[in-house]
């Protein structure tokens, strides 16, 4: 019998696991994907919002600035990429100017420091590659960029070292309410617990419906993102936001924490909760839009593209709180600024559980930090030499584009990677210009050898994404090929 089971291993589920691991609880997280962070979090824009965007009369507004302030400590403890680069929110039309003033006042009321309205001359000085037709921009230095999947891995690893249990590849089939809590049926086994935290992302309303707690509905909104060649690194140095629309913060220019520029997302409501396709129409919209405020950006510089699904609740706000079913709590509808808000949501939900009667006794030996992955590409020549002398695997280059070594790939596997994407998101093997054209077979070989799996069972991101299949025929001597 678990005290608490979290359903969903995205950024919010992993943040909940780490926060609850502080206490003397039997705790588990169940995730349907083969690794945590492989749903919405994997395809997130990776933006920590400055703290002034969300309306103050919403849960989004309640947690945005609080969450923003927690990311420095998380990045320090969990060793993931994080950089406070600031943002510019652009006014391209005269009617946008009033919106900038509104956001500035909203942020100042919330305590967000450093907000300034920049005139065209200041914009051109600070970001010379932006269009000279921009009227004004709101500068917010507190905005940041992060690798959301790295954050998921760090959060869950910290939770596990403090006693939390993780079950990946365990889709929830049904939930039954009984006298002492709940029974959760998965294909592999049945789990029993007193409390469920439903953090199942785009499927949260379906999980809630299993116990009759579906007093909300989730709609899926697809966003396409496009990663640009590293040669454009530095074309802008801050996050660039247009004035938002009713459904989206618009098409952004994002200097990612690792350097390459990303543009997107689109915002398209879709019925299929597993539709991760990209489109010519999406690409055309993104590049046509982004060239209005940064003319030098071109679709010809795209090295990869992907799409993610946002969980939009029918209230257009976060759905956080106890449900009509005792012991079942929803943490749902976590769209933007959900990444920013995640650590604050975790603290809030923990205190909510305390107020609902869960006994929370702090552990005396809770460990906040982890070692974190090595990064050969960031080492000095002296550090590289010392690393190779200590472990010769650092002398074997696996990914040329990102300078990832065999030692780093083996680290990723030891720390939970079971797929090509699991390795890619932990240590960047396959993220460069060739997108795995050089390193895929080598990473597959290391996964196969280390995990004792045949190459035919190695996948990109789980079942259905196998890279190679067994031969169905046997050639005899003399057969043509």
- Between the alpha carbon of residue 422 and those of residues 42, 72, 78, 433, the distances in Å are 10, 24, 17, 19
Pair 213, 225 in one domain: no
pLDDT in the model for residue 470 = 79
Question: How far from chain centre, in Å, is Cα 338?
Answer: 10
At residue 481 the predicted structure's pLDDT band, cuts being 50, 70 and 90, is: very low
Q: Is residue 78 part of a domain?
A: no
pLDDT tens, residue by residue, 436-464: 999 999 999 999 999 999 999 999 999 89
Pairing status of strand 82-83 against strand 144-146: antiparallel
Q: Is residue 468 part of a domain?
A: no
pLDDT in the model for residue 479 = 46
49 is known as an active-site residue: yes
Residue 317 confidence (pLDDT) above 90: yes
pLDDT tens, residue by residue, 370-393: 998 889 999 999 999 999 999 999
Q: Is residue 366 part of a domain?
A: no
Pair 171, 201 in one domain: yes
pLDDT in the model for residue 473 = 62
Query: Mean pLDDT throughout 232-261?
Result: 90
Query: Mean pLDDT throughout 13-40?
Result: 97
pLDDT in the model for residue 244 = 83
* Count of other CB atoms within 10 angstroms of residue 441: 13
- Rounded-to-integer distance, Cα 195 and Cα 3, Å: 6
- CATH number, domain at 387? 1.10.10.1100
Pair 111, 259 in one domain: yes
pLDDT tens, residue by residue, 409-426: 999 999 999 999 999 999
Strand, coil or helix: what is 270? strand
Q: Best-predicted range by mean pLDDT among 240-244, 344-348, 473-477?
A: 344-348
- CATH number, domain at 120? 3.30.9.10
Q: Mean pLDDT across the chain, nearest whole number?
A: 95
Pair 427, 453 in one domain: yes
pLDDT tens, residue by residue, 186-231: 999 999 999 999 999 999 999 999 999 989 999 999 999 999 999 9
Residue 476 confidence (pLDDT) above 80: no
Higher pLDDT, 263 or 44: 263
- Rounded-to-integer distance, Cα 427 and Cα 407, Å: 10
Which residues are bridge partners to 320 per DSSP? 331
Q: Is residue 272 part of a domain?
A: yes
Q: What is the pTM of this model?
A: 0.95
- Rounded-to-integer distance, Cα 159 and Cα 16, Å: 9
- Rounded-to-integer distance, Cα 450 and Cα 108, Å: 53
Pair 105, 128 in one domain: yes
Q: Which residues contact 185 (CB under 8 A, 6 or more apart)?
A: 172, 173, 174, 175, 176
DSSP single-letter state for residue 167:
E
Pair 205, 239 in one domain: no
Query: Mean pLDDT throughout 393-416?
Result: 96
Q: Is 227 within 8 Å of 303 (Cβ atoms)?
A: yes
Q: Is residue 162 part of a domain?
A: yes
Residue 92 confidence (pLDDT) above 80: yes
Pair 232, 117 in one domain: yes
Query: Mean pLDDT throughout 100-109?
Result: 96
Percent of the chain clearing pLDDT 70 (strictly above): 97
- Rounded-to-integer distance, Cα 81 and Cα 3, Å: 33
* Helix residue spans in 133-244 (DSSP H): 148-161, 204-209
Q: Is residue 387 part of a domain?
A: yes
Q: Is 157 within 8 Å of 36 (Cβ atoms)?
A: no
- Rounded-to-integer distance, Cα 70 and Cα 85, Å: 16
Q: Is residue 69 part of a domain?
A: no
Token pair, residue 415, equals 């720390």
Assign residue 163 a region (left: φ > 0; alpha: ψ between -120 and 50; beta: otherwise).
left
- CATH number, domain at 209? 3.50.50.60
At residue 480 the predicted structure's pLDDT band, cuts being 50, 70 and 90, is: very low
User: Rounded to the nearest 5 degrees, what angle is found at the Cα of 83, between the Cα atoms of 402 and 421?
Assistant: 40
Pair 136, 152 in one domain: no
Pair 382, 427 in one domain: yes
- Rounded-to-integer distance, Cα 323 and Cα 326, Å: 7
DSSP single-letter state for residue 242:
P
State which residues form the domain around 243: 84-143+220-309
Q: Is residue 181 part of a domain?
A: yes
Residue 477 confidence (pLDDT) above 60: no
Identify the helix (H) or strand (E) that includes residue 27: strand 27-31
- Rounded-to-integer distance, Cα 42 and Cα 148, Å: 7
Query: Mean pLDDT throughout 319-328?
Result: 97
Pair 298, 386 in one domain: no
pLDDT in the model for residue 247 = 63
Q: Is 162 within 8 Å of 366 (Cβ atoms)?
A: yes
pLDDT in the model for residue 246 = 64
Q: Worst-scoring range by mean pLDDT, 20-24, 155-159, 386-390, 471-475?
A: 471-475
Q: Which residues contact 66 (CB under 8 A, 6 or more apart)?
A: 341, 344
**362: buried, middle or exposed (CB in 10 Å: 19+, 13-18, 0-12)?**
exposed
Tokens 């240590």 sit on residue: 427
Residue 119 confidence (pLDDT) above 80: yes
pLDDT tens, residue by residue, 257-279: 999 999 999 999 999 999 999 99
Pair 110, 241 in one domain: yes
* Total domain count, the chain: 3
At residue 433 the predicted structure's pLDDT band, cuts being 50, 70 and 90, is: confident
Pair 290, 321 in one domain: no
């Amino acid at each position: 019998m678990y005290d608490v089971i979290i359903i969903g291993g995205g950024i919010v589920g992993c943040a909940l696991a780490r926060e609850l691991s502080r206490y003397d609880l039997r705790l588990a997280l169940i995730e349907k994907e083969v690794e945590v962070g492989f749903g919405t979090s994997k395809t997130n824009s990776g933006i920590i919002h400055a703290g002034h965007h969300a309306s103050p009369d919403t849960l989004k507004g309640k947690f945005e600035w609080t969450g923003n302030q927690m990311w420095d400590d998380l990045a320090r403890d969990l060793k993931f990429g994080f950089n406070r680069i600031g943002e510019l929110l652009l006014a391209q039309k005269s009617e946008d100017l009033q919106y900038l003033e509104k956001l500035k006042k909203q942020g100042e009321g919330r305590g967000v420091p450093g907000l300034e309205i920049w005139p065209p001359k200041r914009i051109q000085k600070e970001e010379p590659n932006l269009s000279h037709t921009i009227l004004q921009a709101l500068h917010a230095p507190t905005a940041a960029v992060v690798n959301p999947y790295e954050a998921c891995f760090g959060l869950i690893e910290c939770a596990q070292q403090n006693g939390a249990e993780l079950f990946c590849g365990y889709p929830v089939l049904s939930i039954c309410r009984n006298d002492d809590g709940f029974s959760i049926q998965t294909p592999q086994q049945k789990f029993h617990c007193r409390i469920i935290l439903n953090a199942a992302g785009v499927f949260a309303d379906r999980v809630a419906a299993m116990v009759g707690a579906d007093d909300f509905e989730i709609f899926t909104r697809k966003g396409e993102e496009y990663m640009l060649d590293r040669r454009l690194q530095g074309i802008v140095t801050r996050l660039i936001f247009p004035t938002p629309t009713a459904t989206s913060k618009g098409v952004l220019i994002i200097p990612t924490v690792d350097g390459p520029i990303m543009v997107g997302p689109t915002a398209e409501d879709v019925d299929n909760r597993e539709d991760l396709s990209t489109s010519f129409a999406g690409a055309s919209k993104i590049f046509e839009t982004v060239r209005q405020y940064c003319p030098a950006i071109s679709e010809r510089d795209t090295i990869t593209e992907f799409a993610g699904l946002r969980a939009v609740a029918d209230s257009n706000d976060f759905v956080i709180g106890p449900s009509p079913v005792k012991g079942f709590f929803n943490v749902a509808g976590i769209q933007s600024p959900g990444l920013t808000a995640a650590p604050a949501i975790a603290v809030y939900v923990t205190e909510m559980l305390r107020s609902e009667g869960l006994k929370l006794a702090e552990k005396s030996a809770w460990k906040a930090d982890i070692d974190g992955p090595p990064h050969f590409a960031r080492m000095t020549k002296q550090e590289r030499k010392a690393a190779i002398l200590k472990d010769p695997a650092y002398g074997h280059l696996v990914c040329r584009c990102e300078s990832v070594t065999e030692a780093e790939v083996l680290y990723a596997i030891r720390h939970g990677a079971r797929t090509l994407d699991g390795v890619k998101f932990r240590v960047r093997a396959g993220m460069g210009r060739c997108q795995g054209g050089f390193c895929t077979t080598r990473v597959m070989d290391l996964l196969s050898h280390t995990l004792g799996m045949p190459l035919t069972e190695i996948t990109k991101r789980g079942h259905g994404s196998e890279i190679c299949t067994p031969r169905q025929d046997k050639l005899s001597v003399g057969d043509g090929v």
